[in-house]
Structure 1
Amino acid sequence: MSANTTARTARRRTVRIAAAALTAAAALSLTACSGSDAASKPAGQTQTGAAAEAGGAGSSGSGGAGSSSGAQGSDSKAESGAKTGTQAGATGKQTGKQTGGAHATGGGGAGSGVERCHTSGLKAAFATGGDAAPDPDATGGTTTSVVLTNKGSHACKIGGFPGVDLKSENGGERWSLVRSSAKHGSITLQPGDSTDFTINVLLTKEEEGFYQPAFADVTPPNETTSLTIKWPWGTLVDQRSATHPGTFVNPIG
């Protein structure tokens, strides 16, 4: 065999080996691709199924339909929960309003719903029976009482300081009595009920330095209209300009 023939034979064998190597490599590449696809597809399917069971937690890749279904289910659940929560909250608010209204109606009957006593619903008079009259011989002062009666048809509440203005016979000389520092509360008067307040008075029998009242204008607390009653007692020491007079008004209640 010649040298040229030997060289051609070697080249053929080399070409065959190279071709075989390329074929093997191609086959391995195809096998690898096929295996990768096969491995990825089951993994994707498994993830999609788990995501569907979990309510749409999967990715948006090959499991798109499962993810969409899961998202809709999640939205549906959330919407249902929101509606339920809103309805429950609305029911709670409505119940609270109804309860508060019922409570307000029940609590406003006898106590807080009672209006204050107005002048038009009261009558006034000095207490004159028994020991109600002031002692004309008292040293340093004594007291007299004014009785206020609810003449209306409804209960009313009264408390605080009344205004008391003493007037002379012709009404020309007026004495607005000062108030004491006594504390006070309030009282509810049913129709026909009465309450009173006292006036400290400093009487005198002297013929000088006295003041002789003829009437007393009594203005109930928080009112502007007065009730005029006749003064039934004697003369008072005239202390209209005194800083701390011995004749002054005490509160109701």
Structure 2
Amino acid sequence: MRLQKTSAAVALVAALSLTACDDGSSGSGPAASASAAAPSGTTGAVSPGVTGGPSASDSPGGTGATGATGATGGSGAGYTQASAPAPAALSGGTCRTANLSFSSSGGMAEGEVLINLENTGSASCSMRGFPGLDLTSEDGTVSAGRSSGRSVPTVTLAPGEGTNFSLHFPPDVSGGSGVTFTSALVTPPDETRSHRMPLSVGIPADSGSASRITVDPVGSGK
């Protein structure tokens, strides 16, 4: 009976030895079980930061579909930079009072004065229509009317070029007392600013003389 117990103890020790050897060398231990539990094809489940980080296409500034700069890598969500417009060439706008000089000269007939306008600006300009003209005397101001039967041209003036219009009035030939105007307030067509210039014009003192003062369109005398 004692011999049988000794043989059983020896067998138990041998079995334990075999189990200890299997724990250190075979793939059936806990490590192997953990490895087997990992799903096939997963590369970053156990070691983060090696191959499991974000892909290059997801990073800011990348060249993938979700990159901040898109496929071109520079201009942002499809925007393109517009080229700067070329400087506009100097062209003819409306002639302004500030860019004109004013003078007067004798007309073709008695009772006519030419009002001369010269472009003193750095660019061409144009004007079309009747000017405004007010004659001033000691007794007050008279506004010139518009003459009839005249063409209305468009006048374009290069820098330094000039044009004119005619002022018509009934001349004072009676030798008696009349009305003498000493200045004129001239407003070019399509302008709101006026220029006052010295101008001596004498008309008869009768009540109908003022209504006979008229101006022609600018440039119609050419």
**Letter of the 1:179 counterpart:** R
What is the TM-score when the length of structure 2 is the normalising length? Answer: 0.52
Instruction: Find the partner of 1:120 among 86, 94, 98.
Output: 98
1:247 positional shift: 2.2
In structure 2, the partner of 1:80 is none
Q: Which has the higher strand share?
A: 2
In structure 2, the partner of 1:159 is 128
C-alpha distance in 2, partners of 1:133/1:232? 13
C-alpha distance in 2, partners of 1:164/1:239? 21
In structure 2, the partner of 1:189 is 157
Matched residue SS, 1:120: helix
**Letter of the 1:145 counterpart:** L
1:200 positional shift: 1.2
C-alpha distance in 2, partners of 1:151/1:178? 28
**Letter of the 2:117 counterpart:** L
**Letter of the 2:101 counterpart:** K
| Residues 249, 121 of structure 1: alpha-carbon distance in 2 compared, 3 angstrom cutoff | same
1:236 aligns with 2:203: yes
Query: Over aligned residue pairs, what C-alpha RMSD do you find?
Result: 2.7
C-alpha distance in 2, partners of 1:241/1:247? 10
1:173 aligns with 2:140: yes
The answer to whether the 8 Å contact 1:239/1:246 transfers is: no
What is the TM-score when the length of structure 1 is the normalising length? Answer: 0.46
Aligned positions of 1:85-234 closer than 5 A? 113-127=91-105, 132=106, 138=110, 142-169=111-138, 173-181=140-148, 182-206=150-174, 210-233=178-201
Q: Deviations over 1:30-49 (max 9, x none)?
A: xxxxxxxxxxxxxxxxxxxx
Matched residue SS, 1:158: strand
1:185 positional shift: 1.1
C-alpha distance in 2, partners of 1:183/1:252? 10
C-alpha distance in 2, partners of 1:192/1:124? 13
For structure 2, list consecutive stretches of 5 or more residues without a partner in the other structure.
1-85
C-alpha distance in 2, partners of 1:238/1:209? 7
| Residues 211, 115 of structure 1: alpha-carbon distance in 2 compared, 3 angstrom cutoff | same
Report the identity percentage.
28
1:144 positional shift: 1.2
The answer to whether the 8 Å contact 1:160/1:221 transfers is: yes
Matched residue SS, 1:206: coil
1:211 positional shift: 1.7
Matched residue SS, 1:228: strand
1:202 positional shift: 1.1
C-alpha distance in 1, partners of 2:121/2:207? 35
The answer to whether the 8 Å contact 2:127/2:190 transfers is: no
The answer to whether the 8 Å contact 2:134/2:144 transfers is: yes
Give the count of matched residue pairs: 132
C-alpha distance in 2, partners of 1:199/1:207? 22
Q: Which has the higher helix share?
A: 1
In structure 1, the partner of 2:17 is none
| Residues 248, 240 of structure 1: alpha-carbon distance in 2 compared, 3 angstrom cutoff | farther
**Letter of the 2:92 counterpart:** V
C-alpha distance in 2, partners of 1:147/1:239? 29
